[in-house]
Amino acid sequence: MAEAIARGDAGDVIEPASAGLYPLGEIPSHTREALNRNGYSAEGLASKPIAPEAWRRADIVINMSGRMRELEFEDYEKVEDWHVGDPYGEDSAVYQKILEEIRGRVNGLAQQLREKQRSMV
């Protein structure tokens, strides 16, 4: 969800690429439905592991796994933990709640990045 939301709401300051520590191999139908219902495209989303090249290119990595970044990532200084629930297996209302939480966090991060850009000009 975060990748689609970032593409839709913050593509000017975030180049999102989603990957997981333990990918499912599929995008749940409730995820696609929640995104579509809220005006986001699920086009191009894929459940995949973190590729080494993507890791190297990333300026910031958002960890929503619930696992401590120090235990899961070697270069954890660029990792920001977002404690967001995992809606997998829940009903569409839970997916909607999680989408709204992620949207708030994405938009907050985007605002910080926009302010940082403005201060550098």
- Cα–Cα separations (whole angstroms), residue 92 to 28, 72, 101: 11, 30, 14
Residue range of the domain that includes 60: 2-110
- In this prediction the pTM is 0.91
- Is residue 64 classed exposed, middle or buried when 0-12, 13-18 and 19+ CB atoms within 10 A define those classes? buried
Q: Is residue 48 part of a domain?
A: yes
Q: Is residue 40 part of a domain?
A: yes
Distance, CA of 38 to CA of 35 (rounded, Å): 5
Instruction: Extract the runs of DSSP E, i.e. beta strands, from the chain.
Output: 61-63, 79-81
- Specify the pLDDT at position 22: 85
Total domains in the fold of the chain: 1
pLDDT values of the chain reduced to their tens digit, one per residue, 121 residues: 999 999 999 999 999 999 988 888 899 999 999 999 999 999 999 999 998 898 999 999 999 998 888 888 888 899 999 999 999 999 999 999 999 999 999 999 999 999 999 998 7
